[in-house]
Chain A
Amino acid sequence: MISPGAVDQVFVTLKDWIVFHTPAPLQTLVSIVIEVATIIVVFAALFALATVFERKGLGRMQNRYGPNRVGPFGVFQPIADAVKSLTKEDVVPRAADHVVHYLAPLVLVGVVFLTYAVLPVGRNMTAVNLDAGVLYFFAVGAATELAIFMAGWSSHNKYSLLGAMRAIAQMVSYEIPLILSSVAVIMIAGTLSTVKIVELQARYSNGLAHWYVFTPWGLAGFILFMIAATAETNRSPFDLPEGESEIISGYFIEYSGFKFALFFLAEYLEMFAVSGLGITLFLGGWSSPVSFLAWIPSWLWFFGKLLALLFAFIWVRGTVPRLRMDQLMNFAWKFMLPMTLVTILSAGIWHFLTVAVVGPKPLGGVIRWLVCALVIFVPYITLARVLERGRRIEKRVYRFAE
Chain B
Amino acid sequence: MTLPFLILAIMTLAGGVAAMTMRRLVHCALALVVSFAGLSALYLNLGAEFAGLAQLLVYVGAIAILIVFAILLTRGGEGEPEGAFSPAGIVGAVVALAVFAVLAWAVETSGVARAGVTVAAPQITMREIGFALMQRYVLPLEVIALMLTAAMIGAVILALREKRNDSAGDSGAAQKQGLRA
Contact = CB atoms under 8 A, between A and B. Distances in A.
Contacts of B27: 100
Given A143-B56, A149-B68, A191-B126, A390 B181 contact: yes
Contacts of A30: none
Contacts of B30: 100, 146, 150
A376 B82 CA distance: 57
Contact of A139 (B57, B69, B72, B127): B57
B53 interface: yes
A172 B57 contact: no
A261 interface: no
Contacts of A143: 37, 56, 60-61
A242 interface: no
Given A100-B30, A153-B26, A190-B127, A132 B61 contact: no
Contacts of A139: 53-54, 56-57, 60-61
Interface residues of B, number: 24
Nearest to A175: B61
A146 B56 contact: no
Chain B interface, >50% SS class: helix
B33 A146 contact: yes
Given A130-B49, A132-B50, A135-B53, A153 B126 contact: no
Chain A interface, >50% SS class: helix
B125 interface: yes
Contacts of A140: 56
A232 interface: no
Contacts of A135: 50, 53-54, 57, 126
A142 B56 contact: yes
Given A135-B50, A145-B61, A192 B126 contact: yes
B34 to A, nearest CB: 11
A388 B53 CA distance: 40
B64 interface: yes
Interface in B136-181: 180-181
Contacts of A132: 49-50, 53, 126
A139 B69 CA distance: 19
Interface string B5-40: 000000000000000000000110010010001000
Interface string A69-97: 00000000000000000000000000000
A143 B181 CA distance: 41
Contact of B65 (A161, A168, A390): A168
A131 B65 contact: no
Nearest to B24: A97
A131 B126 contact: yes
Contacts of A149: 65, 68
A146 B126 contact: no
Given A139-B57, A145-B61, A149-B68, 12 more contacts: A100-B27, A131-B49, A132-B49, A135-B50, A139-B53, A142-B62, A146-B65, A149-B65, A153-B72, A165-B69, A165-B72, A172-B62
Interface of A: 100, 130-132, 135-136, 138-140, 142-143, 145-146, 149-150, 153, 161, 165, 168, 172, 175, 190-193, 390, 392
13 contacts: A131-B49, A132-B53, A138-B57, A139-B61, A143-B56, A145-B61, A146-B64, A149-B65, A150-B30, A153-B68, A153-B72, A190-B127, A390-B181
